[in-house]
Amino acid sequence: MQKGRDEKQDKPIKATNVDTIALVFCVIIVKYGATQLRCGHHDHAFSPPTNSRQMPMKDMGQQMYQWADDLFPICRSITGNGVRQTLHYLKKQLPNLRIIEVPSGTRAFDWIIPDEWNITDAFVKDASGQRLIDFKQSNLHVMNYAIPIDTHMDLAALQPHLYSLPEQPNAIPYVTSYYEKRWGFCLTHAQRERLQPGQYHVKIDSTLAPGSLTYGELIIPGQCTQEILLSTYVCHPSMANNELSGPVVTTALAQWLQQQPRRYTYRIVFLVETIGAITYLSRHLAHMQRHTLAGFVLTCLGDTRTYAHIQSKSGQTYADKIAKHVLTHVAKHYTTYDFLARGSDERQYCSPGVDLPVCAITRSKYGTYPEYHTSLDNMSFISAQGLHSSYALYCECLTLLEHNAYYRTTVLCEPQRSRHGLGAMPNIRDIRNLIAYADGVSDLIDIADHIGLYAKDLLPIVRQLVDLQLLERMPEAAL
């Protein structure tokens, strides 16, 4: 039985359960005043997170949950009207989102975009006409990308086309067949065991015909040509954490970013997993290799069990550096996964010859929680709290990306503290340590790691020392 992502057979990895963590949100401007950034010849201040409608942070989780609830019933796949319907919904929240169609048959590196799949109905009826398996009750009941069929058969002939999970008897599995023409139905194992010998009417009202692959793209310009990539996917049917948490958190982040006087440009993409990322790279690779400073794959962000960092291939990219630092100081407890445990579109972004600096931060990592790729990954599995804390964590990451820089002390040896009004400062040791490592070679995150502090907490000290002309910011360099 195929159970899992497109052409991916990773074995589940046992997750480490931790208590729900209350996140510290980005309050740099409110608490410390505007921290100035230089990009080229322009300065800007990065504001605390809200959304385009000035929604308070405490309500943002509820808003994202509502978006997910609205999108949950849609039957999505790697092509088709479900993807379009989802993207058009997100475009209502992000009016500048471009929806792009790539025709079936288009070559994308080694892949060819398949025919488009759509479905209107499917069922298995018993001899009395009762629907025992009904697509209209759950779109997981039908193998995703199943070819059309309308026939009668007995139970013995039907059984090879049924998929269930004996170890999870009350869960409907998610099964796909994107690149092999076949059909099937998914049901709970308890439901399967109740099937009686006899004749069944089997119908899948689907179409598989030339069409297109659809994706969404939002470019938010900044003061620099360097880019931050945020990538998520919109190709799974009714699953809340594995499918919808990524797009709704990404949408909320995009709304927030559009309010900011940004240092960097943000490339935000809503793709279909695997072939969508491959198609996008085939059209934009050269530009992305020149301009991508850091990138993140956003998925599995709705639960409250744990946090995870899925590393890039090297584990040493700028994105990894940001992820490790923020998770260490904000989430406290998290699990790090090597690139060998990859499973989402970091596979494509980090592949040989592409080599983009991309990693992923998730809550429970895909493949590690029992609800994964089943009907148990429903709206009760995610929460406004889980979505909100994931959104806040990514706000922290993007805020540090915007503020991180290289600084150098302007005096030889330690400055005379009394001359600069630093003698009675309660955080004088932190100030001294910051100055000691401000050599123009270590960036602010490097310094924070050396002295055991959160880089965000150093920002007001940096501002003070720059104002006193004891620190100078180095010219813009590749971080």
Residue-wise pLDDT for 415-462, tens only, equals 888 888 887 777 888 999 999 999 999 999 999 999 999 999 999 999
Question: Per the structure block, which two tokens stand in for 424?
Answer: 């009675």
Q: What's this model's pTM, rounded to 2 decimal places?
A: 0.88
The pLDDT score that the predictor gives to residue 40 is 44
Which residues, 6 or more positions from 40, have their beta carbon under 8 angstroms from its beta carbon?
A: 223, 224, 476
The pLDDT score that the predictor gives to residue 319 is 98
Say if residues 178 and 6 touch (Cβ distance below 8 Å): yes
* Residues 435, 352: Cα–Cα separation, whole Å: 40
Say if residues 309 and 327 touch (Cβ distance below 8 Å): yes
Residue type, position 324, single letter:
K
Higher-confidence residue: 423 or 194? 194
Give the model confidence (pLDDT) of 207-234 as tens digits: 999 999 999 999 999 999 999 999 999 9
What number is the average pLDDT over the span 91-106?
98
Domains of the chain: 28-113+212-403 (3.40.630.10), 116-209 (3.50.30.90), 406-473 (1.10.10)
The pLDDT score that the predictor gives to residue 50 is 42
Mean pLDDT, the chain, integer: 89
- The percent of residues in the chain predicted with pLDDT above 70, rounded, is 87
C-alpha torsion sign, points 166, 195, 183, 278: negative
The pLDDT score that the predictor gives to residue 426 is 73
Flag the least confident range among 14-28, 62-76, 349-363, 464-478.
14-28
Give the model confidence (pLDDT) of 240-265 as tens digits: 999 999 999 999 999 999 998 899 99
